[in-house]
Structure 1
């Protein structure tokens, strides 16, 4: 079973993603704060959905750290936010994709399915 790690502090959004990922047949793992690359390596996610604004920092910094690490660089990261400059932010941190909030569920399904099968 493919694992989707969601790093999101908004509980309503996380719960929505939980239901959706389970319906798609993915194992859902959630954190409300930024994890270290070492913690992410232990989880072994197939895809990471990463919020930009988190209580302990910005998701783009974690994404850049993951993409710079030989052990995590190949894990697809989908950066998610309502930030109006998300496209440029995701490009700057080497995110594989981005998703603007509020997001369209069909677009989310399409992106996650695409990267979970890599």
Structure 2
């Protein structure tokens, strides 16, 4: 059986490294970046879930989330927004993210959300 894939788009290298390590320990295949160069990284890696920091280098993460959700071939990929913002729930709703996690976060909580979204994905034909 193929490993489930998680793309981690996180500005903070320490958080990126920790999340990547934990997910790989749990059997996920990961790819991490502070910011994707373009959407081809997403289409090439074909993640089952994207963990997306709201504060990436050159643009707000919610704009990237909206872009993903507007592209037919990508919109099925669940996106979890990560943020320290007080209004993270509103941000996630407005950008059509599937879920959100407030920073700082508990690793078990993050894992539970990732697994839940992967388990509830429709089958791709």
Q: Which structure dedicates a bigger proportion of its chain to strand?
A: 1
Deviations 1:2-60 (A, max 9, x none): 11000002111011101110111000100111443333111111100000001111110
* TM-score (norm. length: structure 1): 0.95
User: How far apart, in 2, do the equivalents of 1:116 and 1:23 lie?
Assistant: 17
Q: Partner of 1:107 in structure 2?
A: 109
Q: RMSD of aligned C-alpha atoms?
A: 1.0
Aligned residues: 118
Long gaps (5+) in structure 2: none
4+ residue runs over 2 A deviation: 34-39
1:115: Cα distance to partner?
A: 1.2
* TM-score (norm. length: structure 2): 0.90
